[in-house]
Amino acid sequence: MMRPTPERLPMRSGSRPPSPARRLLRHWHMLRHVPLRQLWRRAELMASYRLAPWLPDSRAPAPPLRPRFASSPLPLHADRARFEDGTLTLRLPWGERRFADPIAWSPPPAAGATAASDWARLHYMEYLVFLGDDAFRHLVESWIAGNPRRGRGAVRYAWRPYNLSIRVVGWMYELARRRSRLDAAFLERAAASVAAQIRFLERHLETDLRGNHLIRNIRALLCAGAFFAGSEAERWSRLGARLLARELEEQVLPDGMHYERSPTYHCQVLGDLIDCRVWLPSGPLREALDARLEAMLRVAHLLTHPDGGVALFNDGALSGAHAVALLERSLLSLLGARPTPPRGAFALPQAGYFGWRGEDELFVVDCGPLGPDYLIGHGHCDMLSFEWSVAGRRLIVDPGTYCYPEGRRRHLSRGTASHNTLAIAGEEQSDIYGAFRCGRRARPRLRSWRESPHGFLFEGSHDGYRHLPGAPEHVRRIAFEPGRMRLSDRLTADAGRPAATGFLLHPDWRVDRLSETRVRMSAEGAVVEMEASVPVTLEEGEWYPELYVARPTVRLRVAPVTAGEGVEMRFERRA
């Protein structure tokens, strides 16, 4: 691949720390969208976590186990693992991690940049499915002994409700599967730990955040209700069902998209809801869930590239959830109907995704909000950005997500200039800060959408730059047919500073310059040419297909973009 000279990484907001007044304004813009009940719940949880070391442990025995446990047709989304010579090795998307026995269940001070994710995955323990009975028994006993609820920092990893919700489901699956081979004393200790963890979860449900975290909590409650018997288990089932009924109404949009608007988290939630369906009795709630599962599967198909992986809008990773093909097979086994994957132009108006899906092509443009106003931590500054696969290969890609902890690459993952949209120097569409926070946020507007049997015509805008002098809006118009696209960008007023449009290419494509305004992109026989009405430059870029994985690539930069006529760009497949 042709590599550009190191001009600069994408434009980003200035590095000067904000003034105290701006910090207060940022926090106001963030907090004013969060319902008071959720703010109160956050305060309640924080107080409970701080008091945890002084609160007594429950001495209640575990409820009896049901004779039979119905597991989901969807397998656990587990990391590969092996346990040899006293060392647990996890094969994570960003590399292997080894944990020597006795396992340190909290990271040491110098554990490295990936420590938070390494130890979170250690505590998920879904990897137990790949280990033999002796290793399974040893690691469960090690976790129980090494992670008392009243231990210092217990909520950071071991008793964090999200991690706990993942872990206990895996334990229940494996205890049920191996039950005839496990000794009674160990089974009793493990079941008692599961029950204690579920009781803790019941008191610490993530109703302050909601979103995919609360769906994970609900999944754990329903699983426990199916695994145990008796009145306490019935209470967990009722609580899970009541929360699920409420969350379905808001979290699954009318067009079938999960309301956080991340394709990766959409598939994660879809998988969790498939599991929940197994443990629900027949009735109105299960019927309502079935309808949403079918709608969510349709959306998952629409946002899946020909290579089988989802688009990477907002936070996400290629391995962050089950593949859509596996989700489809699992849902088919429950519902008995095979939906036809949609083809042609499509619109998801509530999610804000519009595009075209063909046999070897996918085009998706984002004209939707960052997420629900009270939960936009997984949102990126990607309004009017798009992804495009041609000839079965990703061509123009979203940058993906490098990491979740605050830092330079976290900001790059979320920032405007990293996405395939127009960026004004030193400005963001929305005022992202920290790891998951956002103050002022842009609002999108769909100006026009027309479908045809051969393509679509789209026009959208957003007001993310209206705080600048002249109150400019970015307007993008796309005329698409399979294999070709005409795109125009303009600002409705002069922003008083440089503006440029960027396109991040998949690393597999070679780039050749044909002239100041033309480039050719090629990959294994596929050729696409691009021409712009202003100069096109090549810059270094990074693509983050997985957490902590950065692949060098090329970004096309089209500049300058001005008010009035703006710029015109044409892409066309040549082979």
Q: What number is the average pLDDT over the span 223-235?
A: 98
Residue type, position 525, single letter: G
How far apart CA 499 and CA 495 sit, in angstroms, is 8
pLDDT value for 20:
85
pLDDT band at 1 (very low <50, low <70, confident <90, very high): very low
pTM for the model: 0.95
Q: What number is the average pLDDT over the span 520-538?
A: 97
Q: Where are the alpha helices (DSSP H) in 147-230?
A: 161-178, 184-203, 211-227
Cα dihedral 259/318/439/350 (nearest 10)? -30
The model's pLDDT over 140-172, given as tens digits with 9 standing for 90+, comes to 999 999 999 988 889 999 999 999 999 999 999
The model's pLDDT over 360-414, given as tens digits with 9 standing for 90+, comes to 999 999 999 999 999 999 999 999 999 999 999 999 999 999 999 999 999 999 9
pLDDT value for 13:
44
Q: What number is the average pLDDT over the span 100-122?
A: 94
How far apart CA 413 and CA 17 sit, in angstroms, is 20
How far apart CA 387 and CA 362 sit, in angstroms, is 8
- Per-residue pLDDT for 11 more than 60? no
Superfamily for domain range 205-342: Chondroitin AC/alginate lyase (1.50.10.100)
How far apart CA 532 and CA 569 sit, in angstroms, is 4
Partners of 348 in beta bridges: 353
- CATH class of the domain comprising 346-573: mainly beta
Q: What number is the average pLDDT over the span 107-132?
A: 95
pLDDT band at 178 (very low <50, low <70, confident <90, very high): very high
User: What SS3 class is residue 40?
Assistant: helix
Q: Which residue would you say has higher pLDDT here, 3 or 433? A: 433
Pull the structure tokens for residue 287. Answer: 């019927």
Q: Quote helix, strand, coil % in the chain, to nearest 5.
A: 35, 25, 40
pLDDT value for 16:
62
CB within 8 A of 205, min separation 6: which ones? 161, 214, 217, 243
Pull the structure tokens for residue 408. Answer: 């330079």
pLDDT band at 422 (very low <50, low <70, confident <90, very high): very high
pLDDT value for 58:
74
The model's pLDDT over 316-353, given as tens digits with 9 standing for 90+, comes to 999 999 999 999 999 999 998 777 778 999 999 999 99
pLDDT value for 41:
95
- Per-residue pLDDT for 532 more than 90? yes
User: Where do the domains of the chain lie?
Assistant: 205-342, 346-573
CB within 8 A of 150, min separation 6: which ones? 52, 53, 54, 55, 57
pLDDT value for 125:
98
% of the chain beyond a pLDDT of 90: 88
pLDDT value for 17:
73
pLDDT value for 59:
77
Pull the structure tokens for residue 475. Answer: 């307007």
pLDDT value for 153:
83
User: What SS3 class is residue 185?
Assistant: helix
The model's pLDDT over 247-283, given as tens digits with 9 standing for 90+, comes to 999 999 999 999 999 999 999 999 999 999 999 999 9
CB within 8 A of 389, min separation 6: which ones? 305, 306, 307, 360, 361, 362, 363, 395
- Per-residue pLDDT for 14 more than 60? no
How far apart CA 268 and CA 378 sit, in angstroms, is 14
The model's pLDDT over 57-71, given as tens digits with 9 standing for 90+, comes to 777 899 999 999 999
